[in-house]
Amino acid sequence: MTTLQSTGRPAPETPFEPGRTGLSGRLRDAHGLSLPARLLVAAVVLAVGWVSVGGASSSDLFMLTTIVVWALIATSLNIVVGFVGQLALSSGFFFALGAYVGVLGTGRWEWPGWLSLLVALGGSAVLAGLLGMVIFRTRALYFALITTGVSLVAYELSFAWSSVTGGAAGISTAGPVEEGGISRPFDLGVVAIEEPEAYFRLGLVALVLLVLGLTVVLRRREGASWRAVREDDALAASVGIDVARRKRIAYIVSSTLIGGVGVYYGHWAGFITPDSFTFADAAFAPLAMVVIGGSGTLLGPILGATVVAGFPEVFRDLRDYSILLYGAILLAAMMIAPRGIVGLAKDGVRGLAGRRAARGERRATTANGDERRD
Amino acid sequence: MDLFLQQSANGLVLGGAYVLVALGLYLIFSAMHIPNFAHGEMFALGAFLQYALMRAGLPFFLGMLVVIAAVGLVGACLERLVFRRLQTVSTVAVLVGSLALAIVVQELLMLAFGKDPLAVSAPFDGRVDLGPIVISSYRLFIIAMVLVASAGIGLLVHRTVYGRKLRALAQNKEVAQLTGINTSLIGTATFALGSALAGFAGALLAPTTSIHPHMGFQPTLIAFVVLVVVGAGGRMNTVIACGFLVAVVETLAAGYISNTARQIVIFAGLVVFLAVRPEGAVQQASSTKVRL
């Protein structure tokens, strides 16, 4: 179980010292930051984000919302990739499914937005459940490949099934493309989202809620079982964890969330074509975000999404070289820092803390004999 | 019926590319357990190099020999510089890292040769009339070359000292090392051999396709499909048969349904197949780790 502890949570290596008083004692618990502290961080992030987009230019807003969309997808994907350790590449399928249901719901069938959202969530859950019965019979490389196949089929279908998806020409929330018209608002029942600021705020709220929800789940039995399956599924099974069921549940949760993000994305973009759902963009990029940021951490996917989605903007002047740089950085990250940005940062912090602790320990052992060890 | 035969013949030509790419991938994966998602980029590199060498005035077949050597060398360098490091990290690192490597190679090719598709002319013309179907003689030559090359690899793996060492490495790396085999060298050589095969496929197929930086993606995917469908217990002849079969199914789907259906048919088939037989077609005997 020590391996579980050592890689499971952000900074569990920092020993929890019950005797420690003061601010740092109240802010930290066995899982890293304590829940009230996390709520505080969430509230601050939300407030800052909410207020600061008020005067943002439309290009900045576009950029920020793009990052939020990918952060939502990467965070959802991280459930199955990072916490359960299954290399799922099927996010493209559920993202496309949600986006098409959302856009068709509003544009063609004139459903309210919340109904499209419910249909997309339900549809994703059912399909993920059905797929989950099949795909978890395979493992490792075979699993990666079968989920790749799922994403590729979705991409090809969005071209081929042109009577519904509009084919390569795409489809918009204003109905068929050839009729033109402006995109319709995302009607959530209580509020109708229309302005770019509102979309960003909605996405930010969803992201904060998602991360908080995950924080809670990870502290409970389900989250602990996920990590046990990731570390050693034979060992997990031997202590009574239903491994297949845990994998399926994580996969359904992850895929359903991605389907929901698809609905949000479809409304925000207002217009989608199959090009939004290529294997590289909709299946591989989210995985890259999770891995670059740090898989199995809460902050990692968000950092990864910021890096990968923000990349083209930062390196706009390099136009022709920007994808090359993206590939090169990803490759270098895999070779040098396989645990991602968060892993790097943690190693750095632990290096510092280790040196400080070594100094403190020498002082403590001379003062009183009994020293609490991890 | 004529359409069926014609499409099957086209499928066999396409299958030539898949078979060679899949064989190389199979060797690398069996011997070193590296799922190299950048393998198809060696195919693309082969085609681009063939184009460049022919532009430089080299005759087709001389150019092809240079391409085989060059791509093999690139493979050896990649194994030493990239995969050796990635492998010590984790399987996920190899997977994501090799996909990243694929992006890097694609972008480098695009910077070097531009975005527009390129074409290479075949070294000889002429058509062969085989009753209901007509096939260009270069395409027949491709099929023949693929079979010859496959037989050559079979001989290399099963009838030479290198092959025996390779099979030992595939079976059990530690034991192979204990018997005094230089597994590091054999690994690099195998990676070079697999890459050279893909490069050879690229050069060979260059006159039949349009050459563009993303041309390696499809062969990589199909090669992995073949690998997975064949299963861990499969041998090389199964890989060859399966490569041709997948290509024929793909071209038939393109001919009878629509061009966009080819990918759907292949991957829907894969999902259904793995649902029924998650271990692949040929199951591994529990006593053997890997068969070559």
Task: Output the six-digit token pair for A51.
Answer: 């207020």
The residue of chain A with its CA nearest to that of B267 is A149
Contact B100 A145 (CB under 8 A): no
The upper half-sphere exposure of residue A171, i.e. CA atoms within 13 Å in the direction of its Cβ, equals 26
- Token pair 């943002």 is found at A56
Checking phi first, is residue B33 left (phi over 0); if not, alpha (psi -120 to 50) or beta? left
Mind listing the pLDDT tens digit for each residue in B106-136? 999 999 998 889 998 888 888 888 777 888 8
pLDDT at B142: 92
- For residues A153-188, one letter each, b for 16 or more C-beta atoms within 10 angstroms of the residue's C-beta and e for the rest, the string is bbbbbbbbeeeebbbeebbbbbbebeeeeebbbbbe
Nearest one of A187, A166, A164, A186 to A178, comparing CA atoms: A166
Contact A335 B82 (CB under 8 A): yes
Compare B18 and B261 and report the one with higher pLDDT.
B18
The residue of chain B with its CA nearest to that of A321 is B107
pLDDT at A23: 54
Contact B89 A145 (CB under 8 A): no
Task: Output the six-digit token pair for A277.
Answer: 């759902």
pLDDT at B189: 95
Q: Taking the CB of residue A189, how many other CB atoms lie within 10 A of it? A: 10
User: Residue B97: which of A157, A159, A334 has the nearest Cβ?
Assistant: A334
**How many angstroms separate the CA atoms of B47 and B111, rounded?**
16
pLDDT at A80: 92
Nearest one of B87, B119, B82, B118 to B102, comparing CA atoms: B82
Does B16 score more than 60 pLDDT?
Answer: yes
Contact B96 A153 (CB under 8 A): no
Write the single-letter amino acid at B261: A
Mind listing the pLDDT tens digit for each residue in B139-190? 989 999 999 999 999 999 989 999 999 988 888 888 999 999 999 999 999 9
pLDDT at A362: 62
Q: What are the residue ranges of helices labelled H in chain B?
A: 2-32, 39-55, 60-78, 84-89, 91-113, 137-159, 161-171, 173-178, 183-205, 217-230, 236-256, 261-276
Task: Output the six-digit token pair for B120.
Answer: 């290479």
Contact A323 B270 (CB under 8 A): no
Average pLDDT of the segment spanning B88-111: 89
Which residues of chain A have a pLDDT value below 70?
Answer: 1-31, 175-183, 316, 360-374
- Token pair 């990467």 is found at A74
| Contact of A261 with A98, CB cutoff 8 Å | yes
Could you give the ipTM of this predicted complex? Answer: 0.85
Contact A291 B258 (CB under 8 A): no
The residue of chain B with its CA nearest to that of A168 is B260
Annotate A21-82 with DSSP letters as a single string.
-SHHHHHEETTEE-HHHHHHHHHHHHHHHHHHGGG--HHHHHHHHHHHHHHHHHHHHHIIII
**How many angstroms separate the CA atoms of A119 and A121, rounded?**
6
Whether the CB of B257 is below 8 Å from some CB of chain A: the reply is no
Average pLDDT of the segment spanning B263-292: 70
Write the single-letter amino acid at A220: R
**How many angstroms separate the CA atoms of B155 and B162, rounded?**
11
Q: Which residues of A touch B106 (CB under 8 A)?
A: 327
Listed in sequence order, the residues at least 6 apart from B1 whose beta carbon sits closer than 8 Å to its beta carbon are B132
Does B199 score more than 90 pLDDT?
Answer: yes
**How many angstroms separate the CA atoms of A332 and B103, rounded?**
13
What pTM was computed for the model?
0.82
Does B275 score more than 80 pLDDT?
Answer: no
Helix, strand or coil, per DSSP, at residue B133: strand
pLDDT at A37: 81
pLDDT at A17: 45
* Cα→Cα distances B191→B26, B74, B86, B161, B187, Å: 10, 10, 14, 17, 6
Mind listing the pLDDT tens digit for each residue in A234-257? 888 888 888 889 999 999 999 999
Mind listing the pLDDT tens digit for each residue in B236-250? 888 888 889 888 888
